[in-house]
Amino acid sequence: MRYVRVRGPHGVETGIVEDEGILTEEGIRIEPLDPETLALPDPWELLVPAEPPEVWCAGVTYERSRDARMDESAAKDVYERVYDAERPELFLKDAGGRRTVAPGRPVGIRSDSAWNVPEPEIGIVLGRHGAVAGYTIGNDVSSREIEGANPLYLPQAKVFAGGCALGPAVLVAEGDEPEFSIELLVTDAGGAELFRGETSTARMRRGFAELAEWLVRDNPVPEGSVLLTGTGLVPADDFTLEPGHTVAIRVPGIGTLVNTVAVATDLLER
């Protein structure tokens, strides 16, 4: 079952995604403009599906991510060692929703970086005591230039206005941990393809529950927070996001998260 959050004539509501459309708490059925992105007709607006009090990230959980970080960094052994270590890399991406945007809204790239990339990831919605309550799609937008200069610059490479996107829905799945395929497509302002790639969570070094257990160990993470679980899709070194690009991340079973790209400075509240 998939859930969304929408804003409409009755304010903000939760909705269930069905074959016939989205059924809201008020019993109103909305037909999305697109069954993958779940974009809605006016006056409805699709929101971040989980409204997390905090967004956390796990890094270097795929071999491809480890290799890319080693290539970009002067401190190559840091990434190799954390990939093989028992303890994962975890860091805070956002709190209070100040840097997280909804489907269809612009994600930001840093104005002081010339090398910025999308990072398509599965986000796990956390229940009580770090239990996995659901799954969504996340984009952990990052500056490879800043992190590559020095691993201690990680917060600046990861935390900035519009640096995270979540959506379009939360999937609640029962039973064993599911495997997801993740597809990334980046296009320019004219719709021309700039990058396309695909991976699977079967290639992850660690499982979802394992990452969640490490996150809440001695750490009071609020229920409803989201943990992004790392990326296995890294564009070539000559690729960078630019204003006007569009990033589409498709995960069958969840949907497609689509965001345009803007300079983070332009997204700051004045």
d(CA 266, CA 270): 9
Q: Tell whether 35 and 92 lie within a shared domain.
A: no
What is residue 127's three-state secondary structure? coil
The domain total for the chain is 2
Q: Tell whether 19 and 117 lie within a shared domain.
A: no
Tokens of 86: 């028992």
Rounded to the nearest 10 degrees, the angle between the axes of helix 63-72 and helix 76-84 is: 160
Q: Tell whether 147 and 189 lie within a shared domain.
A: yes
Q: Tell whether 121 and 225 lie within a shared domain.
A: yes
Q: Tell whether 62 and 191 lie within a shared domain.
A: yes
Residue 114 CB neighbours (<10 A): 11
Q: Tell whether 35 and 93 lie within a shared domain.
A: no
Residue 163's H or E segment, with its range, is: none
Task: Find out whether 232 and 251 touch, Cβ atoms under 8 Å.
Answer: no
Q: Tell whether 12 and 115 lie within a shared domain.
A: no
- pLDDT tens across the length of the chain (270 residues): 999 999 999 899 999 999 999 999 999 999 999 999 999 999 999 999 999 999 999 998 988 666 766 565 556 678 888 888 999 999 999 999 999 999 999 999 999 999 999 999 999 999 999 999 999 999 999 999 999 999 999 999 999 999 999 999 999 998 899 999 999 999 999 999 999 999 999 999 999 999 999 999 999 999 999 999 999 998 999 999 999 999 999 999 999 999 999 999 999 975
Q: Tell whether 22 and 68 lie within a shared domain.
A: no
Task: Find out whether 136 and 125 touch, Cβ atoms under 8 Å.
Answer: yes
Q: Is 215 exposed, middle or buried (0-12, 13-18, 19+ CB in 10 A)?
A: buried
For 209, the domain range is: 54-267
User: Is the C-alpha dihedral spanning 237, 243, 248, 249 positive or negative?
Assistant: positive
Model pTM above 0.75: yes
d(CA 194, CA 48): 26
d(CA 139, CA 18): 25
Q: Tell whether 108 and 160 lie within a shared domain.
A: yes
Residues linked to residue 198 through DSSP beta bridges, in sequence order: 183
Q: What is the CATH number of the domain that holds 115?
A: 3.90.850.10
Q: Tell whether 40 and 61 lie within a shared domain.
A: no
Choose one of 46, 63, 81: the last residue of a domain.
46
Query: Which pLDDT does position 137 carry in this prediction?
Result: 98
Phi, psi of 21 (to 5 degrees): 135, -160
What is residue 202's three-state secondary structure? helix
Q: Tell whether 231 and 170 lie within a shared domain.
A: yes
d(CA 81, CA 78): 5
Q: Tell whether 9 and 40 lie within a shared domain.
A: yes
Stated length of the chain: 270
Task: Find out whether 29 and 8 touch, Cβ atoms under 8 Å.
Answer: no
First to last CA, the chain: 39
Query: Which pLDDT does position 64 carry in this prediction?
Result: 65
Q: Is 20 exposed, middle or buried (0-12, 13-18, 19+ CB in 10 A)?
A: exposed
